[in-house]
Amino acid sequence: MSSPAQINYSTSQQKVGTLPLVALCKYVAISGLFLFFFYMVLFDKKHYQPFDLLATFKQKWPSSSSTKISTPSSTPTNLSHIVFGIAGSMNTWKIKRFYTQAWWRPNVTRGYVFLDRPPTKEFLPWSPSSPPFRVNENVEVLKLDPKITRPFQVRIVRTILEIFRLDDQDVRWYVMADDDTVFAVDNLVEALAKYDHTKKFYIGTNSECVKSNFDFAFEMAFGGAGYALSYPLVAALAGKLDSCIKKYSRAWVTSDLMLYSCLSDQGVALTHNPGFHQVDLFGDVSGLLSSHPQTPFLSLHHIDNIKPIFPNKNRPDSINHLMKAAKADQSRLLQQTICHHKTTNWTLSISWGYSAHIYENILPRNFLRKPLETFKPWKVMRPPLFMFNTRWPNNDPCEAPHMFFLHSVENSTEEDRIVTTYVRASPRGLPNCSSSGNHSADHMAMIRVFSPTKLPLEATGRDCCDVAYTPGMNITEVRYRTCIKDEITA
Ligand SMILES: *[C@@H]1O[C@H](CO)[C@@H](O)[C@H](O)[C@H]1NC(C)=O
Ligand SMILES: *[C@@H]1O[C@H](CO)[C@@H](O)[C@H](O)[C@H]1NC(C)=O
Ligand SMILES: *[C@@H]1O[C@H](CO)[C@@H](O)[C@H](O)[C@H]1NC(C)=O
Ligand SMILES: *[C@@H]1O[C@H](CO)[C@@H](O)[C@H](O)[C@H]1NC(C)=O
Ligand SMILES: *[C@@H]1O[C@H](CO)[C@@H](O)[C@H](O)[C@H]1NC(C)=O
Ligand SMILES: *[C@@H]1O[C@H](CO)[C@@H](O)[C@H](O)[C@H]1NC(C)=O
Ligand SMILES: *[C@@H]1O[C@H](CO)[C@@H](O)[C@H](O)[C@H]1NC(C)=O
């Protein structure tokens, strides 16, 4: 039996980059109202005409002051305003469908998976757990241009045109992705709701790898990570896409590059939004997912190129396991919270819903937020390889973590608490950091994290935490709480 809890608390903080509060200048509000008015009057879905005034205004008012303000009269953006377009293929659907089904909510999420040919008997009747399918138009039959080098890529970019023609109602955003992309849809809604859907927006992110961005473009949204196009942008693009494809389809291009080129011609630049993950990486991405940037997690891609994200699970099971945490609290999913525990000299780093690390040392946040480079780049070349700093895994017992991965997600018996538990992947196999005293974490088997059920992370922007550890016990408890004003880690 356990001894009476002799609990030591130590405090720490978690800081999430809060969005800068945009000053709502009077002239911006007025121009916004004008735009909205013009949009309502002239920008009718059925009789769409290119409306260059929008573009003119967009250039006039810099994005920092005008783009993130929703039109006052519009209702908040919710999931029903998003239509997803998934680029699929019959040859790979057998495996990839699991990744789409992991996040798809039948009868709730709207959208389609676009296939290169009609489904074979094996997939009929079509599973209600998958998005409904559509078959892309045949690029070769369309004869857009005799010199198209990669019809497969043209098929994918034309999905934007084909999904628009399906004429879904009340669409604010088209979100395009691949069949091996996994979304956190609640976070995606939160992210898109911050932008004005009545303006032309191209929102996404580039690759983790410098080389991928160098080869294509740093300012290009990588489609596997997923990107969002506002309705007015798609409406403007649709009529011009085929002629633009003719212009850009001849070289060694991808669908993403064609889209980027076409949008550049229209004067629309990428709005970088972090949290989408192209994952142009190989191997074990646990280092990256354990030190995820402090921004809502939106997507994960290339599941088949990386090792399963959880040890001892296959790829579909791994993704479904992560989704258990996603269902409980997306706002905290993969968000890093760090606590220091003075009496043991431990640092705990929790990537909520995914992993927990114990370091036998007090380590600063700016060190822990750098991912352990457990993964390989898309292409091996001279550094710099990645768009972010990393730290190299090493055998220094004061820098190498004891690693624990998500085991369970449950409602606590305590009111308003979710309990996530994390169990040790394998023994660390290193000496103790400190030779004096008893600071070893070798005996630790599980970390149990209590987090709020009802207070989403974005409400406060950060979590602080306390560590409860009883010497000799093989479970450590971490309790998330609201930070004290201006609390800092000491
Ligand atoms: C989403 O917002 C629309 C208003 O734009 C509303 O009619 C609809 O009920 C909302 N849907 C959900 C699921 O909240
Ligand atoms: C989705 O809707 C269809 C028809 O409206 C219904 O038959 C089906 O049971 C629903 N599926 C789910 C999972 O709710
Ligand atoms: C605790 O960690 C600090 C910072 O690394 C170190 O200076 C100190 O010696 C450690 N204390 C013990 C008892 O190991
Ligand atoms: C946890 O509680 C919420 C409501 O507070 C409920 O919707 C959910 O189903 C519960 N989950 C489990 C695993 O019991
Ligand atoms: C680490 O410290 C613990 C507790 O003091 C001790 O039992 C264990 O033998 C030490 N491990 C090594 C490898 O020295
Ligand atoms: C943790 O300790 C308890 C007894 O205190 C024991 O029953 C349990 O098996 C231990 N767990 C592990 C994984 O060692
Ligand atoms: C030292 O750590 C071991 C586990 O490694 C634990 O069983 C023991 O109770 C600890 N001793 C003290 C004095 O805390």
Q: For residue 258, give both structure tokens.
A: 């064609």
Cα(418) to ligand 4 centroid in Å equals: 9
Closest ligand 1 atom, residue 78 Cα: 1
Q: Are 17 and 202 in contact (CB under 8 A)?
A: no
Average pLDDT of the residues of the chain: 86
Record the tokens describing residue 158, joined without a space.
């034309």
Q: Using only the alpha carbons of the chain, give its radius of gyration.
A: 24
Percent residues over pLDDT 90 in the chain: 72
Does residue 33 share a domain with residue 83? no
pLDDT on residue 87: 98
pLDDT average, residue stretch 62-72: 44
**What is the mean pLDDT of the segment spanning 174-195?**
97
> Hey, what amino acid is at 465?
C
Which atom of ligand 1 approaches the CA of 108 most closely? Answer: 13
Dist CA 386 CA 62 (whole Å): 29
H or E element in which residue 379 lies: none
Q: Are residues 57 and 92 in the same domain?
A: no
- Regarding whether 242 and 97 lie in a shared domain, the answer is yes
Same domain, 31 and 90: no
Q: How far apart are CA 252 and CA 154, in angstroms?
A: 11
Least confident of 142-151, 263-272, 285-294, 316-325: 142-151
**Is the Cα dihedral 446, 452, 458, 459 positive or negative?**
negative
| pLDDT at 28 exceeding the cut of 70 | no
Q: Which CATH number characterizes residue 84's domain?
A: 3.90.550.50
Residue 408, domain member (yes or no): yes
Residue nearest to atom 2 of ligand 5 (CA): 440
Residue 320 maps to a domain = no
Q: How far is the CA of 455 from the centre of ligand 4 (A)?
A: 15
CA of 296 to the centre of ligand 1 (A): 22
* pLDDT for 34: 45
Please report whether residue 41 resides in a domain: yes
**Residue 291 falls inside a structural domain:** no
| Positive or negative: CA dihedral 58, 60, 64, 69 | negative
Q: Find the helix or strand (DSSP H, E) in which 448 lies.
A: strand 446-452
**In terms of domains, do 49 and 115 share one?**
no
Same domain, 172 and 102: yes
Closest residue by Cα to atom 4, ligand 5, is 438
Could you tell me the CATH number of the domain that includes residue 426? 2.70.130.10
User: In 357-443, which ranges are continuous DSSP H helix?
Assistant: 365-368
Whole-angstrom distance, CA of residue 113 vs CA of residue 99: 12
Instruction: Find the DSSP H helices in 200-350.
Output: 210-215, 231-238, 241-248, 255-265, 286-290, 315-328
Q: Give the count of domains, the chain.
A: 3
Confirm or reject: Cβ of 384 under 6 Å from ligand 7: no
Q: Tell me the CA end-to-end span of the chain in Å, nearest whole number.
A: 34
pLDDT in tens, 192-221: 999 999 999 999 999 999 999 999 999 999
Q: Is 106 in the pocket of ligand 2 (CB under 6 A)?
A: yes
Ligand 1 pocket test, pick from 70, 75, 186, 192 with the greatest ligand atom count within 8 Å of Cβ, gives: 75
pLDDT per position as a tens digit, 443-479 = 999 999 999 998 888 877 889 999 999 888 999 999 9
H/E stretch holding 424 = strand 417-424
* Ligand 5 surroundings by CB, under 6 angstroms: 431-432, 438, 440
Mean per-residue pLDDT, 291-311: 96
| 2 found inside a domain | no
Alpha-carbon distance of 386 to 367, in angstroms, equals 17
Best residue among 432, 433, 438, 473 to mutate for probing ligand 5, ranked by most atoms within 8 Å of CB: 432
Q: Report the separation in Å between the CA atom of 77 and the middle of ligand 1, taken as the mean of its atom positions.
A: 8
Does 446 share its domain with 425? yes
pLDDT at position 21 over 90: no
Q: Where is pLDDT greater, at 235 or 39?
A: 235
Per-residue pLDDT at 73: 58
3 part of a folded domain = no
Burial of 383 (0-12, 13-18, 19+ CB in 10 A): exposed
Q: Which residue has the tokens 């895994």?
A: 393
The residue from 41, 66, 91 where one domain ends is 66
Measured distance CA(431)–CA(24) in Å, rounded: 56
CB 142 within 8 A of CB 157: no
Whether the CB of 109 sits within 6 Å of ligand 7: no
pLDDT at 323 over 50: yes
What is the structure's pLDDT at 452?
93
Task: Indicate whether 220 and 111 sit together in one domain.
Answer: yes
Q: What is the mean pLDDT of the segment spanning 122-148?
A: 90
Pocket test for ligand 6, best of 426, 474, 476 (most atoms within 8 A of CB): 474
Q: Where are the beta strands (DSSP E) in 301-399?
A: 336-341, 346-351, 355-359, 375-377
Chain-centre distance for alpha carbon 104: 15
Nearest CA to ligand 3 atom 1: 345
Residue nearest to atom 7 of ligand 4 (CA): 328
Please tell me whether residues 233 and 86 are part of one structural domain: yes
Q: Which pLDDT tens digit goes with each residue over 342-378?
A: 999 999 999 999 999 999 999 999 999 999 999 999 9
Q: How far is the CA of 128 from the centre of ligand 2 (A)?
A: 8
Residue 177, H or E segment:
strand 173-178
Query: What integer pLDDT is reported at residue 489 of this predicted model?
Result: 64
In a 10 Å sphere around its CB, with 0-12 CB exposed, 13-18 middle and 19+ buried, how is residue 364 labelled? exposed
Of 272, 295, 311, the domain-final residue: 272
Q: Using a 6 Å cutoff on CB, does residue 213 contact ligand 3? A: no
| 71 within domain boundaries | no
Q: Which range of residues forms the domain containing residue 454?
A: 330-363+399-481
Query: What six digits make up the tokens of 268?
Result: 């629309």
Q: Which residues contact 238 (CB under 8 A, 6 or more apart)?
A: 160, 161, 164, 165
CA of 476 to the centre of ligand 7 (A): 14
Once rounded to an integer, what is the mean pLDDT over residues 172-177? 98
pTM reported for the whole predicted model: 0.85
CA of 91 relative to ligand 5 center, distance in Å: 54
Q: Quick one: which of 159, 7, 68 has its CA closest to 471?
A: 7
- Do 268 and 348 sit in the same domain of this protein? no
Looking at ligand 6, which residue's alpha carbon is closest to its atom 14? 445
Q: Identify which of 337, 300, 331 has the alpha carbon closest to the alpha carbon of residue 455.
A: 331
Q: Is the CB of 411 under 6 A from ligand 4?
A: yes
Residue of minimum CA distance from atom 5 in ligand 1: 75
Give the DSSP letter string of 42-108: H--STT----HHHHHHHHHS-HHHHTTPPPTTSPPP-GGGEEEEEE--HHHHHHHHHHHHHH--TTT
Same domain, 184 and 112: yes
Residue 14 lies in a domain: no
Q: Which residue's CA is the closest to the ligand 2 atom numbered 14?
A: 107
What token pair was written down for 444?
A: 């630790």
Domain shared by 106 and 175, yes or no: yes
Tokens representing 307?
Answer: 């090792």
